[in-house]
Amino acid sequence: MSKPYIIGIAGGSGSGKTFFLNRFLDHFTTDEVCLVSQDDYYIPVAHNMTPEENKLYNFDLPRTIDADAFERDVQQLINGKVIYKKEYTFNNPNATPKMLEIKPAPILIIEGLFIMHFKGIAELMDMKVFVDADEAVALERRLKRDLLERGYSNDDVMYKWIHHVVPAYNEYLLPYKEECHKIIINNTNTTENIEKVTEEISVELRRTVFGE
């Protein structure tokens, strides 16, 4: 198997990166593309924390990620090997983590907050995509997600946003924006714009990777 075409998809919290990614994946079969997510490489710490400790702990730092394991698994996929990884459940005690089986494919997508910051991973990318949104839009999405899906209180979300999320975005993500090949502004909650962009990129990739 030849080296896969590697796409990095980065975006701040609430940018709509996951929505963009899901629409993008709609254009390919599971044999054509595989996905490895930075989120599944968080170093487990929360199971021993009180709610207050969890609130104060800063998950928005590169050191909270097992970068060595992350890069090692990416290399395994590049080398044509299947990897197995337990899903990260974002400290939700009601969620049962799944065991993920990630098979190599001609297109490898790497997504996450710090993927451009981790140089060993960033240097592997053939295409870098930056998904962005205005801060007010991103905060609204973050509140909706964390309150409904992850069990955080409004106070917890706001504390993390002000003290962790925004500083991390400014330090570890924003500096890499201009070096990305594609910058996607995602301020709407409608599908049309994102579907159009993902269609354009998928056509480009099918020509580059599959010669269609």
- pLDDT tens for residues 145-189? 887 766 678 888 899 999 999 999 999 999 999 999 999 999 987
> What phi, psi does 56 have (nearest 5°)?
-80, -25
Q: What letters, b where the CB count within 10 A reaches 16 and e where it falls short, cover 48-86?
A: eeeeeebbebebbeeebbbbeebbebbeebeeeeebebe
Q: Which two tokens stand for residue 94?
A: 């009601």
Q: Judge contact between 104 and 67, C-beta under 8 A.
A: no
The CATH architecture to which 5-206 belongs is 3-Layer(aba) Sandwich (3.40)
Distance in angstroms (rounded) separating the CA atoms of residues 112 and 56: 22
For residue 48, pLDDT beyond 80: no
pLDDT tens profile 50-85? 777 877 889 899 999 999 999 999 999 999 999 999
For residue 190, pLDDT beyond 90: no
Distance in angstroms (rounded) separating the CA atoms of residues 206 and 107: 10
What's the pLDDT score for residue 47? 64
Residues 61, 65, 71: CA angle, nearest 5 degrees = 130
- For the question of whether the overall pTM of this predicted structure is more than 0.85, the answer is yes
